[in-house]
Amino acid sequence: MNLILTDISALAQKLKNCRSAAILTHAHPDGDTLGAGFGLCYYLRSVGIKANVLNSEPFPEKFAFLYKDYEPQDFEPESVISVDVAAQELLGEGLFGYADKIDLCIDHHFSNRMPARDSYVDGGSCAVCLIIFELLKELGAEITPRIACCLYTGIATDTGCFMFENTSPEAHRAAAALVEAGAKASEINREMFQVKSRGRLFAEQKAIGEMKFAGGGKIALITVTNELIDGCGVDRADLDGFAGIPLTVEGVEIGITLKQQPEGVYKASIRTVSADASAIAKRFGGGGHIRAAGCTLTDDREESERIITEAAAEFL
Amino acid sequence: MNLILTDISALAQKLKNCRSAAILTHAHPDGDTLGAGFGLCYYLRSVGIKANVLNSEPFPEKFAFLYKDYEPQDFEPESVISVDVAAQELLGEGLFGYADKIDLCIDHHFSNRMPARDSYVDGGSCAVCLIIFELLKELGAEITPRIACCLYTGIATDTGCFMFENTSPEAHRAAAALVEAGAKASEINREMFQVKSRGRLFAEQKAIGEMKFAGGGKIALITVTNELIDGCGVDRADLDGFAGIPLTVEGVEIGITLKQQPEGVYKASIRTVSADASAIAKRFGGGGHIRAAGCTLTDDREESERIITEAAAEFL
């Protein structure tokens, strides 16, 4: 039976009945899926329940502070729990064997469509780490400094360090409690938000140097070509957040970022202050949200830039 | 008598006795001094006390949302209150006439040396806006959406949007309460932290493009020349925060920013992860804090870059 839990106490009850758990995190993991995974794992282990955190690939170096001193345990899990995984295919190839074996899905995506025996999906929560924080409070759990670091990381990263619209009063209150419980917030913030690789910095610098404007300065466009990526020696995985750059320019209302794919086509990311980004993306067979959407353009650079800028101009 | 208030209830008592107030903010005003000034002013007016906010210069356009619908009132102030002003000379020329007439100084700089009849200085508070928030709570005041926007602005800007080391649990809890009281946090965050002028963006881009490394990548240096400033058409007032750029590069432990002054000399800002920045600055007659310090270099660009890099290398 597929049960939708809507109450944190029902979720807490599920956890109390758990005897051992494999905790699944999504592919290309971010601070929220890993923070929630390790935070939950450390809690379960602290109350004598065997638990491991799994990902399709090795855990990224960037998040090493979350899994310092973590060692996988050897056991056959009774429960499979997914955190921050909105759909089966987001598990990645390495975990696909678990896709139809999930006992408990904990998520915060409105769009969640993961089949699981039980699901707790709070689309209004800014981070799964915030859900885990509330769960641990409900369980009367001790939040150790290690758990606090994990949960703080997810809340901070999913809210852009409390900058984005999704930052709720609850997120701030949880952060306050987690800092008091020992989360090393300023170190985590530096690592997550301030430090960039040289390649990333120079790729940004080059892309900004070639930024194009249209619509009287209300449209800004940057293009990240394969040549630029190779020239800066930057890892593609290290290009997250580029889509936000054009909209940081004063007066810009529609920001467009074209990122060339290894096979040559351009993936376009559209970000807007108030225009309907998904409507622009739809023109080219894409889609998304009202302020953030994407599509793929198969023309060459010049033509791709021209057609998407023209389409955007109609939405000013 | 110069009285040092150490207790928020004593500060509240002072405010209760206030019949009309001129509120002084510091020159080159930031979000904290203006947020505290206007937040306090709107509160006083809401309880029937005449109040004005004063600055040495016209209020900057960037903070227009704080003084929308604000009109100066015509009255002779009984009390003069300063907010976020650590010393007389920081009032600026336009307010210097008030320098020895301050009845109440409210500040959060440990280094405060403002002569005032009464002073409330909490060096442990991340923002004067946090002090004003606690003061209004103590007074049982209603925090209107307009006051909430003001106080949120100061707390957010002085903590780098909750990113810096000074971000306390109290800062997060105040932010939670202010958002609930109607602070438009995401709009304020976009305006304060995300939007940059084109000139600023291109000045950053050019400076980063010429970034120099030393000490095996542990020292990074950027130089902002007058030629670069003029070439990008960027206002000097719009170059705040440049000093933080070199330290955003992965592996960098000492970041140096040289900013040429109109008269030709270079002001150096030194930022460090763990080295003693003030000791480096002292070599050249400067000073500051352990992680952030500054000095002036009178040689030409090449020589200035060379000598400060060499000095920094000794502190790795």
Q: Which residues of chain A does CATH 3.90.1640.10 include?
A: 3-193
The span from the CA of A314 to the CA of A275, in Å, is: 10
- Is the separation of the CB atoms in A55 and A94 below 8 Å? yes
CA distance B14 to chain A (A): 30
Does B205 contact A at CB distance below 8 Å?
Answer: yes
CATH architecture of structural domain A198-313: Roll (3.10)
A315: how many CB neighbours lie within 10 A of its CB? 18
Do B167 and A177 lie within an 8 Å CB cutoff? Answer: no
- Is the separation of the CB atoms in B72 and B49 below 8 Å? no
Does B161 contact A at CB distance below 8 Å?
Answer: yes
CA dist A71 → A51, A54, A66 (Å): 10, 12, 12
The first and second tokens of residue A302, run together, are 């010049």
The first and second tokens of residue A255, run together, are 């920001």
Provide the edge-to-edge strand list for the sheet that holds A266-272: A212-214, A219-224, A254-260, A266-272, A292-297, A287-288
Does A194 contact B at CB distance below 8 Å?
Answer: yes
In the prediction, which pLDDT does B240 show?
78
CA distance B159 to chain A (A): 11
Residue B54 dihedral angles phi and psi, to the nearest 5°: -120, 145
Contact list in A for residue B196 (CB cut-off 8 A) is: 248-250
- Is the separation of the CB atoms in B161 and A161 below 8 Å? yes
The span from the CA of A173 to the CA of B171, in Å, is: 10
* A198 → closest Cβ in B172, B189, B249: B249
In the prediction, which pLDDT does B24 show?
98
Does A247 contact B at CB distance below 8 Å?
Answer: yes
In the prediction, which pLDDT does B2 show?
59
The span from the CA of B242 to the CA of B230, in Å, is: 16
> Distance from first CA to last CA of chain B, Å, rounded?
48
Do B250 and A196 lie within an 8 Å CB cutoff? Answer: yes
Q: Between residues 174 and 193 of chain A, which touch chain B (CB distance below 8 Å)?
A: 175-177, 179-180, 185-186, 189, 193
* A198 → closest Cβ in B162, B164, B250: B250
CATH of A3-193, one of 3.20.20.150, 1.10.3720.10, 3.90.1640.10, 3.40.309.10: 3.90.1640.10
* B172 → closest Cβ in A176, A211, A247: A176
Taking only the tens place, the pLDDT of each residue in A125-176 is: 999 999 999 999 999 999 999 999 999 999 999 999 999 889 999 999 999 9
CA dist A95 → A56, A82, A105, A117 (Å): 5, 11, 14, 17
In the prediction, which pLDDT does A4 show?
79
Does A197 contact B at CB distance below 8 Å?
Answer: yes
Does A279 contact B at CB distance below 8 Å?
Answer: no
CA dist A255 → A1, A74, A238, A316, B5 (Å): 45, 49, 20, 11, 50
* B173 → closest Cβ in A173, A205, A208: A173
Taking only the tens place, the pLDDT of each residue in B102-134 is: 999 999 988 899 999 999 999 899 999 999 999
Do B165 and A177 lie within an 8 Å CB cutoff? Answer: no
In the prediction, which pLDDT does B287 show?
83
pLDDT less than 70: residues of chain B: 1-3
**pTM reported for the whole predicted model:** 0.88
In the prediction, which pLDDT does B1 show?
44
- Return the DSSP state at B130: H
Does B249 contact A at CB distance below 8 Å?
Answer: yes
pLDDT less than 50: residues of chain A: 1
Contact list in A for residue B164 (CB cut-off 8 A) is: 186, 189
In the prediction, which pLDDT does A181 show?
98
In the prediction, which pLDDT does A2 show?
59
* B161 → closest Cβ in A163, A186, A209: A163
The span from the CA of A106 to the CA of A37, in Å, is: 10
* B194 → closest Cβ in A179, A185, A248: A248
Contact list in A for residue B209 (CB cut-off 8 A) is: 202, 205-206, 209
Note the ipTM here: 0.88
Do B175 and A162 lie within an 8 Å CB cutoff? Answer: yes
Angle between helix axes B31-46 and B145-158 (nearest 10 degrees) is: 160
Q: Which residues of chain A does CATH 3.10.310.30 include?
A: 198-313
Contact list in A for residue B244 (CB cut-off 8 A) is: 194
Rg (CA), chain A: 21
